[in-house]
Amino acid sequence: MFFPQFRARRIRASETFRRMVRETTLSVNDLIYPMFSAFGSGIRKEISSMPGIFQQSIEHIVAEAKEVQALGIPAVLLFGIPETKDAVGSDAYSDSGIIQETIRAIKKEVPGLAVVTDVCMCEYTDHGHCGIIKDGDVDNDATLELLAKEALSHVRAGADMVAPSDMMDGRVAAIRETLDDNGFDHIPLMSYAVKYASGYYGPFREAAESTPQFGDRRSYQMDARNRREAVLEAELDIEEGADILMVKPGLAYLDVLREIRENFTQPVAVYNVSGEYSMVKAAAERGWIDERTVTMENLHAFRRAGADIIITYHAKDVARWLKGL
């Protein structure tokens, strides 16, 4: 059937028809809001490259967590900025570490809000790498033990789900085994399964103070040029016990997100990373784009590509927009 018998515009002609034929939905239930918890008190410092996002001490984190819950957002993803960093990232797996204290405070004051924790070493090591260093390089197998300790201390403090982001081989299995052996076989694991070495993490590294002090992350994070490798990484993590697969970054990797959606039955998450947020904010501040239109377009694109869950710094704004505020 061709023009003029068929006219594609007929069902686009009114808002009612457009509503009726929409293929993709976005709900507040799909969102996770990342937060940066800093050691100390009275701290609320805006990240210069991420307007609206703050490094905050625990009392401010708790206050914002209440706001997040009131907006109906089901979960937060926590990152920690410890008092001190060292070569082996001790604060990461200390029961009195910054994240452990933050988890306990949120679970006490905002028990209904799900707490997901980023499990990695880079925020806690003085060299800024995601594992411990031996002979100038990340020691994969020695790092696994520390990641498992870190994840265990998070769930002991009350974390509802752990999300390893380090990209070491075998880390999902190591964490799963440690959690299971310690009575936490009910705690789900969301793996940063498909994580690329990306320039889009720049603003995050300011927020988390986690820039590598030498070299870069290309020996553990994936090459942006690869797509088949994404399926392999996801397969390995599913074999090792991941419950949710994540693709990161999002916007430049929608093809990868679709690929993962089609190859696996497990829920798929996407991380709408810091640089993606900063670009929207910067262009909107200059009046070059409309923030709300572009943000909603980006988030629907993640849903259209197959994401069940979207981790995004826009979550609070989106929750308000979805309520019509």
* Smaller CB separation from Zn ion, 64 or 118: 118
Q: Is residue 274 a contact residue for ligand PBG (CB under 6 A)?
A: yes
List beta partners, residue 32. Answer: 75, 311
201 binds, among ligand PBG, Zn ion, none (CB under 5 to 8 A by kind): ligand PBG
From 118-126, 136-144, 229-237, 285-293, give the range in contact with Zn ion by CB under 5 A.
118-126
By CB under 5 A, name the one of 122, 162, 168, 310 that touches Zn ion: 122
Site string for ligand PBG, 88-127 (x = CB under 6 A): ------------------------------x-x-x-----
Residues 158-177 touching ligand PBG, rule: CB under 6 A, are 165
Comparing CA positions, the residue from 181, 135, 162 lying closest to residue 77 is 162
Q: Residue 171 and residue 143: Cα distance in Å, rounded?
A: 9
Burial of 84 (0-12, 13-18, 19+ CB in 10 A): exposed
Closer by beta carbon to ligand PBG, 109 or else 169 = 169
Task: Provide φ and ψ at 184, rounded to 5°.
Answer: -115, 40
Pull the structure tokens for residue 118: 């980023």
220, interface contact from ligand PBG, Zn ion, none, CB < 5-8 Å by kind: none
Q: Which of residues 123-142 bind Zn ion (CB under 5 A)?
A: 130
195 as an active site residue: the answer is: yes
Residue 25 corresponds to which tokens in the numbers above? 């939905």
Among 92, 120, 174, 207, binds Zn ion (CB under 5 A): 120
Figure out which of the listed residues 33, 39, 196, 201 binds ligand PBG, where binding follows CB under 6 A: 201
273 part of the interface to ligand PBG, by CB under 6 A: yes
Please identify the residue of the shown chain whose CB is closest to the bound ligand PBG. 204
Distances 66 to 98, 154, 268, 292 between C-alpha atoms, Å: 19, 20, 26, 23
Q: Where are the alpha helices (DSSP H) in the chain?
A: 15-20, 58-70, 98-109, 140-157, 171-181, 202-208, 228-240, 254-263, 274-285, 291-305, 315-322
Question: Minimal distance in Å, beta carbon 205 to ligand PBG?
Answer: 6
- Of the candidates 107, 248, 281, 316, the residue annotated as catalytic is 248
The residue from 130, 152, 246, 280 that contacts ligand PBG (CB under 6 A) is: 130
Three-state secondary structure call for residue 153: helix
Two tokens at 179?
Answer: 């959690």
Catalytic residue, chosen from 85, 107, 195, 316, is 195
- Burial class for 24, CB neighbours closer than 10 Å (0-12, 13-18, 19+): exposed
Specify the amino acid at residue 264. Answer: F
| Binds 274: which of Zn ion, ligand PBG, none (CB < 5-8 Å by kind) | ligand PBG
The yes or no reply on residue 204 touching ligand PBG (CB under 6 A) is yes
Told to judge if 248 belongs to the known catalytic residues of this protein, a careful annotator would answer yes
Distance (Å, rounded) from C-alpha 154 to C-alpha 320? 30
Name the token pair of 117.
Answer: 């924790």
Q: Nearer to Zn ion by C-beta: 59 or 145?
A: 145
Interface residues with ligand PBG (CB under 6 A) are: 118, 120, 122, 130, 165, 201, 204-205, 217, 273-274
Active site residues: 195, 248
